[in-house]
Chain A
Amino acid sequence: MNNYDVIVVGAGNGGLCAAATCAKAGLSVLVLEKHNIPGGCATSFVRGRFEFEPSLHELCADSTHPKMRSMVHIYRELGVKTDFLKEDYLYRVICKGKDGYDHKIKATRQGFIDSMDEAAPGCRRQMETLFELNDLFDAAQIYMDDCGGVTGMNPITLLTKYGDFVRAAGNSTDKLLSALGLSEKAKSLTNTYWGYLGNPPRDLNAMHFISLLMAYAQAQPYVPKNRSHGMTLAMVKVIQENGGEIRFNSEVTEFLYDEKGAATGVVVNGENIYARKIISNIIPNNVMNLSKSRFTKKMMRKLANARKMGMSVGCVYLGLNATAKQLGIEDYSVFVLQDKDANVQYDLRKSYGFYIVNCLNVVLPDCSPRGTSMLFFTITYFDGDFPEDMKPEEYKKYKNDLAKKYIEDYEKVMGIDIMSHIEEISVATPVTFARYLSTPNGTIYGYMSQTWDNVVNRVVFKDLENRVKNMKFCGGHSLRGDGYPSAFITGEMMAKEVIKEIKEGK
């Protein structure tokens, strides 16, 4: 009575990767997506002459160790054809205020160490240590993978050989950087990417953050040439070429279970479709809300209630009628900080604490028509930051005020004119992401990676906490936290589990 081996719910990066992996392994796969295009956050939209990226800054696409899984590996193995461009710089970071600074930090291992040491003299040794730590984290993760997960590991080996992995995995980024004796300035510069994981460094898992930063630095940030929409269409192609099926405008309205509570299928457009396995790219909160309550598990309800929602963002997308050069913009990625302490940036997030401005034309000159350029502002929102009772008629003004505030601040910081060049503007807020992603308060990161809900614990507790037989979860809310690569990796991980279970007849 099963229509498919696997149903994948949601065609975000995680869902697409899970489906492609299953299809490639010969399983019959159906992907159901509520929108008319794939990708979730990984998409693009057109306004006038411009095609905007709604969420992508840069991809941490490659890994620092040949055995570590990465998007590049996954793409190669799946046969996804899409071109990437590499960036030479990680970021330009401008810190305002009286001990402010303005530095450009280079990518590559050597480039990063050199430019950090130039910006914060004396931190060379500590930066080298960060890379060495990351090498060890890679080795530890490969060891864990080789052991077949947490349960197969020898705790003694973990502690003796990979003790620093355990140290970093249990402590915050603040603690690790202090333990290394970084100066305030070196700390500040190192913390620039905190927003990519959405926790202030006092609550940010050190292993998670250092892995991310060092991977970006070492492998260089990537940008997809055909944009995120092209990337996800490339994935769709692979799914289809391997016999998989994808249906758009097909929102799952209910998850189905057998009497023992094992997942059996879904309801979509009024039709019941059954499969041996379900892979959900949608957040467990939504899955539970779309399941009859007697089939939801106590442990999963409690976990969902205990968790905090991860970061959402406000974005201002600008199509400008002048080139980046004419405007005086030289950098792809500029981080503007109100205070050098990243924790204060988080605390001041409602008043310029921390924002990012990207100009894709710097990496991809032809991404907009000749004589134009695009700017993309990102402002952080955390659960509860969006005003409680905003009326619909107040929303347009709210969006415009938000855009104005940040554009004017950036003009002041850079000493350039942006406002008079705006040919197209679109403003997104958590409301926009709530609308398109249907995540609680529009989170784009899934659950907040709090100290107890860090990525290591998510892996450790995975099988204990997911009590639904035949159902797996992938995507930003899953084991590896947010980001395109994390979604890819969890998609592949869940697909491999499903392939194995089906092979073993489970």
Chain B
Amino acid sequence: MAKSLIPKLPLYPFVLSAIKRVIVVAKTPDTPVKPLGEYPANKLADALHPACQYLKVEKIIEQTEDVKTFVFVPDTTRGTKNLAWFSAGSYLSISYSDDNIRFTRPYSLSSSPRKSKENHYCITVKRTEGGIASNYMLDNWTVGTKVVASDPQGDFTYEPLRDAKHVIGVVGGSGITPFRSMAYAIADGDEDFDLTILYGSRTLEDAVFTDELKALSETCPKIKLINVLSEQRVKGCKYGFITAKLIESVAPKGEPYSLFLCGPQAMYEFVDKEIKTLKLKPKYIRHELFGEYFNPTNDRGYKGKKDAEYTITVRISGKEQKVPCDANTSVLRALEAASIDAPNRCRSGRCGWCHSQLLSGEVYTPKRVDGRRIGDLEYGYIHPCCSFPLSDITIDVPPVPVAK
């Protein structure tokens, strides 16, 4: 017999614990296994992040000639009873289809998080040149229109441990929507920070929500609104573009501040250059989603053939199809043009929802919108929403998850 190193420890508990197992299991009542939704952590997870939210348009508010706010309520007939709470600055990925069209697009929630408790969500949509989805919504959606939305998404939100206590919102056009939500969240006491909004637009009439935000700033001193008009001189508004100088003039003196940028891509290009002179640490500069990337073949250093046409072989759950795609069309857009449903949310390369495997061929992913992980690069995975073919390619795309 081997000499024991731990002779003081008895042998019998080994057998006892086995006997105990038999007894414990025998004594446990045979009731159905507790459903997941009854555990507190799972219950809260479901409330914050439902698999999807069925919504219908309850009201349409015409803000200007080419801007409308769609007010959504839960579509109880399809099983959604309550709307998920969200952090101001979040977006919904909204899917819509009818006989003419189907699309999925991200829209910032423009309403107060508190309103979700009253079962209201708002998105505000502006007409844009070539904006297939936006323009269709503005022209065709009516009270009663039904859509499927994701759970609230995104990270363009205020984080008290990361961001400065004072936030300057740099806004272009319809980029005002997340800031409207943040302003309400501050007024409602759900967020605690000072928000100065530099709101760039062509004219004052284009600057939707101006009156509302002004009124809010009068009752809540933490909120300030400054209209910056590029084509109109109006008393009380700034004239021109949002420059470094303007930002500095509204910034708190001797204290750090965060810049939150949301607007069209042209605005990012302009403002990004401007703010370089401010020498802010990257932590104090936050951009909302870049939006879909266009004309990658114009990028400096682009290596592909500019006018090339390629073929994408796409596999979904083992079934294969072929679709055409030119060098300036994202893989996702090419699939959508061929009426293939492919998962997508942010459409800006960041969220990873469209994560797909590149089985053969090459793609170009602009650096600005390349949100992939190290492993993706090593093993050939792409985000189709911001990948452009450089050759014929074969990809494996996961199916769109079945909505529950």
Interface residues, chain A, CB within 8 Å of chain B? 34, 36-37, 44-49, 51, 129, 132-133, 136, 159-164, 166-171, 175-176, 179-180, 206, 226-227, 229-234, 236-237, 245, 247-251, 269-270, 285-286, 288-289, 293, 296, 298-299, 301-306, 312, 321, 386-390, 392-393, 395-396, 400, 403-404, 407, 419, 421-425, 429-435, 438, 440-442, 451-454, 456-457, 460-461, 465
B9 to chain A, nearest CB (A): 4
Which residues on B sit within 8 Å (CB–CB) of A231?
A: 375
Of the A-B pairs whose beta carbons lie under 8 Å apart in the complex, a sample of 18, sorted by A's number, is A44-B374, A170-B9, A176-B9, A233-B376, A236-B379, A248-B355, A249-B401, A269-B402, A286-B36, A293-B32, A296-B33, A389-B40, A393-B117, A407-B161, A452-B18, A457-B17, A457-B18, A461-B21
How many angstroms from the CA of A31 to the CA of B375 in the assembled complex?
A: 20
Query: Which of the 9-residue segments B22-30, B53-61, B193-201, B288-296 touches chain A?
Result: B22-30
Q: Is A233's CB under 8 angstroms from B34's CB?
A: no
Q: Is A289's CB under 8 angstroms from B355's CB?
A: no
Which residues on A sit within 8 Å (CB–CB) of B87?
A: 396
Which residues on A sit within 8 Å (CB–CB) of B2?
A: 136, 160-164
How many angstroms from the CA of A40 to the CA of B378 in the assembled complex?
A: 19
Q: Is A170's CB under 8 angstroms from B17's CB?
A: yes
Question: If the complex has contacts A46-B371, A250-B317, are A457 and B21 also in contact, measured as CB distance less than 8 A?
Answer: yes
Question: Is B31 close to A, CB under 8 A?
Answer: yes
Q: Is A392's CB under 8 angstroms from B379's CB?
A: no
Question: If the complex has contacts A46-B352, A435-B49, A457-B17, are A440 and B36 also in contact, measured as CB distance less than 8 A?
Answer: yes
Question: Which A residue sits closest to B158, measured CB to CB?
Answer: A396
A239 to chain B, nearest CB (A): 12
A143 to chain B, nearest CB (A): 12
Of B10, B13, B44, B190, the most chain A CB neighbours within 10 A belong to: B44
How many angstroms from the CA of A282 to the CA of B210 in the assembled complex?
A: 52
A117 to chain B, nearest CB (A): 18
Question: Is B310 close to A, CB under 8 A?
Answer: no
Which residues on B sit within 8 Å (CB–CB) of A400?
A: 159-161
Question: If the complex has contacts A233-B376, A396-B87, A400-B159, are A301 and B117 also in contact, measured as CB distance less than 8 A?
Answer: no
Question: If the complex has contacts A168-B6, A247-B317, are A441 and B374 also in contact, measured as CB distance less than 8 A?
Answer: no
Which residues on A sit within 8 Å (CB–CB) of B84?
A: 392
Interface residues, chain B, CB within 8 Å of chain A? 1-2, 4-6, 8-18, 20-21, 24-36, 39-42, 44-45, 47-49, 84-85, 87, 113-114, 117, 155, 159-162, 190, 281-283, 317-318, 343, 350, 352-353, 355, 371-376, 378-379, 381, 398-402
B157 to chain A, nearest CB (A): 8
A75 to chain B, nearest CB (A): 15
Q: Is B20's CB under 8 angstroms from A452's CB?
A: yes
Question: Which A residue sits closest to B48, measured CB to CB?
Answer: A392
Question: Which B residue sits closest to A44, measured CB to CB?
Answer: B373
Question: Which B residue sits closest to A465, measured CB to CB?
Answer: B25
Q: Is B9's CB under 8 angstroms from A306's CB?
A: no
Q: Is B5's CB under 8 angstroms from A132's CB?
A: yes
Question: Which A residue sits closest to B8, measured CB to CB?
Answer: A179
How many angstroms from the CA of A168 to the CA of B21 in the assembled complex?
A: 17
Question: Which B residue sits closest to A37, measured CB to CB?
Answer: B355
Question: If the complex has contacts A250-B399, A400-B160, A454-B17, are A233 and B36 also in contact, measured as CB distance less than 8 A?
Answer: no
B399 to chain A, nearest CB (A): 5
- Complex partner residue of A237 from B20, B25, B379, CB under 8 angstroms: B379
How many angstroms from the CA of A392 to the CA of B43 in the assembled complex?
A: 10
How many angstroms from the CA of A421 to the CA of B113 in the assembled complex?
A: 29
Question: If the complex has contacts A160-B1, A226-B378, A392-B44, are A434 and B161 also in contact, measured as CB distance less than 8 A?
Answer: no
How many angstroms from the CA of A162 to the CA of B3 in the assembled complex?
A: 10
Q: Is A227's CB under 8 angstroms from B4's CB?
A: no
B287 to chain A, nearest CB (A): 10
Q: Is B317's CB under 8 angstroms from A269's CB?
A: yes
How many angstroms from the CA of A270 to the CA of B401 in the assembled complex?
A: 11
Q: Is A301's CB under 8 angstroms from B31's CB?
A: yes
Q: Is B14's CB under 8 angstroms from A170's CB?
A: yes
A375 to chain B, nearest CB (A): 12
**Ordered nearest first, which 6 A-B pairs have the shortest CB separation?**
A170-B14, A230-B375, A170-B13, A392-B85, A423-B283, A248-B398
Q: Is B21's CB under 8 angstroms from A440's CB?
A: no
How many angstroms from the CA of A450 to the CA of B266 in the assembled complex?
A: 60
- Complex partner residue of B6 from A46, A176, A422, CB under 8 angstroms: A176
How many angstroms from the CA of A196 to the CA of B168 in the assembled complex?
A: 44
A188 to chain B, nearest CB (A): 19
A69 to chain B, nearest CB (A): 23
Q: Is B24's CB under 8 angstroms from A306's CB?
A: yes
Q: Is B18's CB under 8 angstroms from A303's CB?
A: no
Which residues on A sit within 8 Å (CB–CB) of B11?
A: 159, 163, 166-167, 170
Q: Is B12's CB under 8 angstroms from A170's CB?
A: yes
Question: Which B residue sits closest to A461, measured CB to CB?
Answer: B21
A87 to chain B, nearest CB (A): 19
Which residues on B sit within 8 Å (CB–CB) of A169?
A: 14
How many angstroms from the CA of A81 to the CA of B147 in the assembled complex?
A: 45
Which residues on A sit within 8 Å (CB–CB) of B160?
A: 400
Question: If the complex has contacts A233-B379, A289-B35, are A434 and B9 also in contact, measured as CB distance less than 8 A?
Answer: no
How many angstroms from the CA of A258 to the CA of B390 in the assembled complex?
A: 50
B174 to chain A, nearest CB (A): 24
